[in-house]
């Protein structure tokens, strides 16, 4: 179902405005928290969240999805910032955008079809775990006040919505932040607050060229980071887009989203923001709050900037414990609990793929590696499964002088060995007929396996006749198209 | 087999559309299809919760909640539509239409009309117009359907349908008008109605010749034809003339100009659809 551009902007004005406000309130603590993960001033993440949401609202392909500074991306920047400083991060952000636009123009979003459901679930869970782990530094070597504040924060976040009337009208993360800030200021608690973490925005963002030498050396430093950032950013964006697709029962333009993410990152790099992408947790909050259109994403960015710039002195007083509580909520809300419950119901191979994705991601802090491992493993499992769809039957003809083998199913690298083993070379017959007309030979491995079988029979002194090889090896052509052949049928159809 | 398709729903003037469609189907000797389109609005949020909080299984929970909500609304809308359609089928059958079908489709009205276009001779639609500060506001549906479909559309205003005994043919000498004339000439069912060729504007010799030729052409095809020449703006004087002369239907060609030009100067097709108080048959 297509929704016109006008409807995407103005079809849901009231819902989008309110949802934008709710999202902005939740974006502020996240942007600050992710800046701290990346090792930059909070203003870098806050400017990034503003510019990414505003640009993606216009250029993106998935209305109602929230993009901003994210944890997945922040984790990838840590060493770059530590070794080379902020300016290189900004340059890498711009280059990330360029890579993403190229990916969009080449329609690489389509590659998402190789990412199975289990990998997506693994990605989401790994993301949740990483967000949670990133909070631990704020919870180690601190006084009991911080634990008490964090616990109180979580209690407010999950308890407040149960209050009648106001519960569903006021975002509980906001209540948590306001109450904890008030308590910390009133009691004069000596605990870390946002102001201690670095500079906050004191003005509207301005256009700045990243201050790096434009040399090949710079490119060599930033290109590997940019490439990983681009891949992870697009992966999370594509996954979030399909989650929003499901939630709202609408479709999105994946290629446009890739290009949009690229434009958003380029724009962000030039106003001093860090690279970002779509956010699963925030997008769920947006849909839950009634946000559906581009307006909600746009207004989330605008509200965020207004609040941060004008409430700067207050924002710096927010205790880190309040942010930690909000981030724990995001982590819990992002985690797919269904996947834990269904761990046993699902086939073991799916569960293994999911767990491997999680383990690789959490241990490398790199979602790209986790997804790569997951995709590879699911491909191997799939090849193994399809390899089992191969059967060799045999019967004797002409008073035991001739043996006819009939091969059906898929013969390729995974099933080739089993294919060879299915023939009885010990049997002494004068003639062997191998009917492969109802089999499919997918690759060179399959053909050489057949050659091997023929050769072996010849050595045993049998005359070998192979029937239907032409039909069977049609599938070997790389551009195997069913539509352009007469009497085309699906390879599995017989 | 000719087929008249009537697009109906609970809003607007379903009764008039039903009567109009029955009349058209009988006049054309066509079968009649009543179409009800279940138009969901996914761009609008059905509910909102500003707690801004996500907990255990937030995503799965939200998905099942939203799906449940959509499911309940769809079932209700489908049932309501079915009842309307069933009522109309009975009415059409009682009125002697030989073959009556009812159909329900998901999606947008315009999409559905275009999808079913191949099996349709004439599409009958009602108007969901509502008064706004700026005057009468025509629901975009009719206009968008007319733009999208290649088949004729009969737009029916008002809450009751009166069987037309005569019709006005808006003629401006343009290519569109000439093509339309050919189409009208082949429409046997319109011959039962008295025709008035209406020209709005200043009449010169060339235009007079055009009008005479058009009249002659229609007469040889068996129409009863009169001519009326009016001055003023089309969207005002034409409806006035229709009601003064008691003409029961307006026949015109659709959108002679490019979309860009319409954007700037407006389109008389849209204006007439909006102001006419009698059914308007728009030919392509």
pLDDT at A488 over 50: no
The mean predicted confidence, pLDDT, of chain A is 90
Contact B48 A243 (CB under 8 A): no
Contact A1 B42 (CB under 8 A): yes
Residue B39: closest CA among chain A residues belongs to which residue? Answer: A1
Contact A290 B54 (CB under 8 A): no
Which residues of A fall within a CB distance of 8 Å from B63? 246-247
Q: What is the mean pLDDT of residues B191-205?
A: 88
Question: What is the fold of A388-476?
Answer: Transcription Regulator spoIIAA (3.30.750)
Pick the closest to residue A275 from A55, A65, A119 (CA basis): A55
Alpha helices in A249-366 (DSSP H): 254-270, 280-288, 294-310, 312-315, 320-334, 337-341, 348-364
Residue B45: closest CA among chain A residues belongs to which residue? Answer: A290
pLDDT class of A483 with cuts at 50, 70, 90: very low
What pLDDT shows up at residue A85? 93
Which residues of B fall within a CB distance of 8 Å from A171? 50-53
pLDDT class of A485 with cuts at 50, 70, 90: very low
- Record the tokens describing residue A462, joined without a space: 């049998």
- Record the tokens describing residue A3, joined without a space: 């929704």
Mutation choice for A interface testing from B39, B53, B114 by most A CBs within 10 A: B53
pLDDT at B137 over 80: no
CB-closest option in B42, B47, B54 to A249: B42
Q: How do residues A286-301 score in pLDDT, each as one tens digit?
A: 999 999 999 999 999 9
Q: Which residues pair with B32 in a beta bridge?
A: B4, B100
| A358 burial via Cβ count (<10 Å: 0-12, 13-18, 19+) | buried
Residue A161: CB atoms within 10 Å: 21
Phi, psi torsion values for A228, nearest 5 degrees: -65, -45
Task: Give the domain ranges of chain A.
Answer: 5-345, 388-476
Q: What is the mean pLDDT of residues A226-241?
A: 95
Give me the DSSP letters along chain B: --EEEEE--SSS-HHHHHHHHHHHHHHHT-EEEEEEEE---TTS-S---TT----TTHHHHHHHHHHHHHHHHHHHHHHHHHHHHHHHHHHHHHTT-S-EEEEEEES-HHHHHHHHGGG-SEEEEE---EEETTEEE--HHHHHHHHH-SS-EEEE-SSS----SEEEEE--SSHHHHHHHHHHHH-GGGGGSEEEEEEES---HHHHHHHHHHHHHHHHTT--EEEEEE-S-HHHHHHHHHHHHT--EEEEE---S-HHHHHHH--HHHHHHHH-SS-EEEE-
Which residues of B fall within a CB distance of 8 Å from A19? 45, 48, 50
Which residues of B fall within a CB distance of 8 Å from A170? 50-51
Q: Does B66 touch chain A (CB under 8 A)?
A: yes
Q: What is the mean pLDDT of residues A425-441?
A: 89
Question: Distance (Å) from the C-alpha of residue A12 to the closest C-alpha of chain B?
Answer: 5
- Record the tokens describing residue B110, joined without a space: 């315009």
Q: How do residues A243-258 score in pLDDT, each as one tens digit?
A: 999 999 889 999 999 9
Q: Above pLDDT 90, what percent of chain B?
A: 32
Is this complex scored with an ipTM above 0.95? Answer: no
- Record the tokens describing residue A248, joined without a space: 């709202």
Contact B60 A336 (CB under 8 A): yes
Domains and CATH numbers, chain B: 3-41+76-143 (3.40.50.620), 164-283 (3.40.50.620)
What pLDDT shows up at residue B130? 52
**Radius of gyration in angstroms for the set of CA atoms belonging to chain A, rounded to a whole number:** 29
Give me the DSSP letters along A371-382: HHHHHHHHHHHH
Q: Above pLDDT 70, what percent of chain B?
A: 91
pLDDT at B24 over 60: yes
Least-confidence region, from A17-31, A356-370, B199-213: B199-213
The CA-to-CA distance between both ends of chain A, in Å, stands at 36
pTM, two decimal places? 0.82
Which residues of A fall within a CB distance of 8 Å from B47? 290
CB-closest option in B43, B57, B60 to A293: B43
Can you tell me the distance from the alpha carbon of A203 to that of A472, in angstroms, rounded to the nearest whole number?
69
Mutation choice for B interface testing from A174, A333, A335, A341 by most B CBs within 10 A: A333
Contacts 24+ apart (CB under 8 A), A338-346: A338/B57, A338/B60, A339/A121, A339/A124, A339/A125, A346/A118
Q: What is the mean pLDDT of residues B202-207?
A: 86
Contact A337 B57 (CB under 8 A): yes
Mutation choice for A interface testing from B47, B50, B71, B106 by most A CBs within 10 A: B50
Q: How do residues B36-62 score in pLDDT, each as one tens digit?
A: 988 777 778 777 788 888 888 888 889
Residue A162: closest CA among chain B residues belongs to which residue? Answer: B51
pLDDT at A494 over 50: no
Which residues of A fall within a CB distance of 8 Å from B38? none
What pLDDT shows up at residue A444? 87
Q: How do residues B105-133 score in pLDDT, each as one tens digit?
A: 988 888 889 999 999 999 999 876 555 44
The mean predicted confidence, pLDDT, of chain B is 85
Phi, psi torsion values for A115, nearest 5 degrees: -90, 110
Q: How do residues B228-280 score in pLDDT, each as one tens digit?
A: 998 888 888 888 999 998 899 999 887 655 555 555 555 777 788 888 889 99
Question: Distance (Å) from the C-alpha of residue B116 to the closest C-alpha of chain A?
Answer: 17
The number of residues in chain B equals 284
Pick the closest to residue B196 from B223, B177, B174 (CA basis): B223
Which residues of B fall within a CB distance of 8 Å from A293? 43
pLDDT at A177 over 60: yes
The answer to whether the CB of A70 falls within 8 A of the CB of A31 is: no
Q: Does B186 touch chain A (CB under 8 A)?
A: no
pLDDT at A484 over 50: no
Residue with the larger pLDDT of the pair B2 and A48: A48
Can you tell me the distance from the alpha carbon of B178 to that of B172, in angstroms, rounded to the nearest whole number?
9
Can you tell me the distance from the alpha carbon of A372 to that of A365, in angstroms, rounded to the nearest whole number?
13
Please tell me whether residue A97 adopts helix, strand or coil conformation.
helix
């Amino acid at each position: 179902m297509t929704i016109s551009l006008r409807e995407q902007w103005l079809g849901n004005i009231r819902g989008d405005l309110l949802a934008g406000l709710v999202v902005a309130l939740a974006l502020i603590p996240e942007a600050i928290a992710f800046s701290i993960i990346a090792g930059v001033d909070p203003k870098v993440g806050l400017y990034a969240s503003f510019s990414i949401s505003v640009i993606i609202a216009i250029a993106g392909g998935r209305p109602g999805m929230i993009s901003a500074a994210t944890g997945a991306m922040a984790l990838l920047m840590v060493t770059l910032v530590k070794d080379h400083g902020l300016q290189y991060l900004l340059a890498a952000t711009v280059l990330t955008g360029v890579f993403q636009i190229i990916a969009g123009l080449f329609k690489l979003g389509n590659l998402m079809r190789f990412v199975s459901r289990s990998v997506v679930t693994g990605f989401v869970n790994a993301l949740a775990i990483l967000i949670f782990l990133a909070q631990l530094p704020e919870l180690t070597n601190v006084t009991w006040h911080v634990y008490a504040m964090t616990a109180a924060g979580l209690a407010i976040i999950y308890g407040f919505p149960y209050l009648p009337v106001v519960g569903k009208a006021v975002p509980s993360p906001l209540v948590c932040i306001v109450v904890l800030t008030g308590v910390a200021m009133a009691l004069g608690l000596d605990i870390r607050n946002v102001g201690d973490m670095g500079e906050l925005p004191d003005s509207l963002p301005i256009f700045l060229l990243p201050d790096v030498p434009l040399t090949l050396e710079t490119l060599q430093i930033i290109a590997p980071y940019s490439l990983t950032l681009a891949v992870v950013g697009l992966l999370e964006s594509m996954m979030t887009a399909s989650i929003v697709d499901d939630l709202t029962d609408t479709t999105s333009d994946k290629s446009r989203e890739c290009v949009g993410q690229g434009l958003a990152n380029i724009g962000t790099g030039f106003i001093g923001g860090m690279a970002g992408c779509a956010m699963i947790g925030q997008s769920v909050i947006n849909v839950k709050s009634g946000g559906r259109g581009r307006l909600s994403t746009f207004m989330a960015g605008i509200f965020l900037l207004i609040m941060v710039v004008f409430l700067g002195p207050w924002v710096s007083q927010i205790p880190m414990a309040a942010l930690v509580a909000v981030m724990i909520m995001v982590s819990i809300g992002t985690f797919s609990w269904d996947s834990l419950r269904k761990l046993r119901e699902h086939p073991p191979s799916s569960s293994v793929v999911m767990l491997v994705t999680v383990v690789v991601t959490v241990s490398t802090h790199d979602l790209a590696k986790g997804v790569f491992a997951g995709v590879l493993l699911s491909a191997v499992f799939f090849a193994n499964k399809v390899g089992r769809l191969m059967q060799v039957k045999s019967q004797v003809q002409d008073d035991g002088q001739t043996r006819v083998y009939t091969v059906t199913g898929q013969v390729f690298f995974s099933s080739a060995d089993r294919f060879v083993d299915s023939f009885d070379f010990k049997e002494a017959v004068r003639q062997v007929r191998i009917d492969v007309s109802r089999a499919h030979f997918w690759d060179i491995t399959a053909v050489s396996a057949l050659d091997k079988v023929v050769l072996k029979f010849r050595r045993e002194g049998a005359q070998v006749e192979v029937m239907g090889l032409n039909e069977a090896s049609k599938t070997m052509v790389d551009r195997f198209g069913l539509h352009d052949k007469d009497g085309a049928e699906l390879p599995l159809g017989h | 087999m000719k087929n008249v398709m009537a697009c109906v729903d609970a809003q607007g003037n379903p009764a008039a559309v039903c009567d109009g469609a029955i009349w058209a189907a009988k006049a054309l000797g066509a079968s009649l299809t009543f179409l009800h389109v279940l138009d969901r609005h996914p761009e609008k949020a059905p509910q909102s919760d500003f707690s801004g909080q996500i907990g255990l299984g937030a995503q799965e929970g939200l998905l099942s909640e939203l799906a449940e909500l959509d499911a309940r609304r769809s079932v209700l809308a489908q049932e309501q539509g079915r009842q309307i359609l069933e009522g109309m089928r009975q009415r059409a059958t009682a009125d002697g239409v030989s073959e009556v079908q009812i159909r329900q489709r998901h999606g947008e009205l315009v999409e559905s009309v275009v999808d079913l276009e191949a099996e349709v001779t004439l599409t009958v639609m009602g108007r969901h117009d509502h008064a706004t500060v700026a005057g009468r506001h025509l629901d975009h549906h009719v206009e968008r359907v007319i733009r999208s479909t290649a088949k004729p559309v009969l737009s029916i205003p008002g809450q009751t349908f009166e069987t037309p005994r005569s019709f006005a043919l808006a003629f401006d000498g343009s290519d569109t008008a000439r093509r339309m004339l050919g189409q009208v000439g082949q429409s046997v069912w319109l011959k039962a109605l008295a025709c008035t060729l209406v020209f709005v504007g200043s009449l010169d010799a060339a235009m007079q010749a055009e009008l005479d030729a058009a009249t002659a052409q229609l007469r040889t095809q068996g129409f009863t034809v009169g001519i009326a020449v009016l001055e003023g703006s089309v969207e005002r004087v034409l409806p006035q003339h229709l009601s003064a002369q008691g003409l029961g239907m307006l026949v015109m060609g659709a959108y002679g100009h490019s979309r860009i030009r319409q954007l700037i100067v407006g389109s008389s097709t849209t204006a007439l659809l909006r102001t006419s108080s009698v059914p308007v048959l728009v030919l392509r």
